[in-house]
Structure 1
């Protein structure tokens, strides 16, 4: 007897299998997605839970703001207070079912401690879609970074999953450069 996969896990596994073949998910090439009835469920300010998440060194804080905006969703990730001081912002207005460009970034804050920097036009191509009746926002981004070994194209698959209670946001990332998923936990900052 085989166990059935949850729809979200099946999507992650399908994306990983497609990526291994050099393909992209066909779900990201569809026309704009109709708004789910619960598309504002993720809206709000979300605070990083260091106890339950992957470390974000050298940063001391990470927050996420999500806001529905007409047919789109504004997603902002903000890093603060590294050892050197300063902040970093990764902001994009998504239109689920399409691919958009992020705002230019001065750096790639996700891996600042490794000396990996975003290059080219300093933007990311970001595709997105809704899953689970608006309780999960899925994104897939592609961009080029420069590291000690030279330039490299990176693809990041992310799921922003709302807990059944609506007070916790789990962010799960799969990167083309890592064999294991990265997990972050956030709680409502505006609760």
Structure 2
């Protein structure tokens, strides 16, 4: 009797786990290009692309930033099933704010799907250096895909500022990405 109950419970847990992994919004996957006219100013950068990849509960967000000939690439990998720690957490720098990544800092981050699995919500606690010393900055970010799947709105709120940063991206077709 105990063995049958264990099998039923284990089967239920596996089914729940598979449902949670499958609940990610597949429309979010792919390459997205910043619409600068519809977005918060990108101080110090001229272009920004995001490439979002889903692999089970893992969500990789790759940034390609460009200023003239300078190109910077970085990737943050979140996991919707557990908290993660990142040594090289990337955030878009707003240079005039004088908030810099702390040396040897480790960012703690969580991610989850909200709004009936249409929106990815991430929260990162990242050490930063300000004029008063090192502090932890909380960055809460929502990644929302439009109904048609052709626009991605990224809303980023920092504990260090009162106004959110809003970035609007257009989906990049395979031909345009080449």
Same fold (TM over 0.5): yes
Q: 2:101 aligns with which of 97, 112, 118?
A: 118
Question: Which of the numbers 76, 94, 98 marks the counterpart of 1:92?
Answer: 76
TM-score normalised over the length of structure 2:
0.77
Q: Which residue of 2 aligns with 1:5?
A: none
- Mark the CA change 1:190 to 1:151 in structure 2 (over 3 Å): closer, same or farther: same
| Partners of 1:32 and 1:120 in 2: CA distance | 39
Q: How many residues align?
A: 158
Alignment of 1:138-157 (within 5 A): 138-157=121-140
Q: Which has the higher strand share?
A: 2
RMSD: 2.5
Which runs of 4 or more aligned residues in structure 1 lie more than 6 Å from their structure 2 counterparts after TM superposition?
A: none
In the TM superposition, 1:35-74 aligns within 5 A as 35-74=21-60
Which consecutive unaligned segments of at least 5 residues does structure 2 have? 1-16
* TM-score normalised by length of structure 1: 0.72
Choose between structure 1 and 2: higher helix proportion.
Answer: 2
2:134 aligned counterpart, secondary structure: strand
Could you say if the C-alpha distance between residues 142 and 87 of structure 1 is closer, same or farther in structure 2, counting changes exceeding 3 Å? Answer: farther
Bigger radius of gyration among the two: 2
Distance, in Å, in 2 between the alignment partners of 1:104 and 1:189 is 26
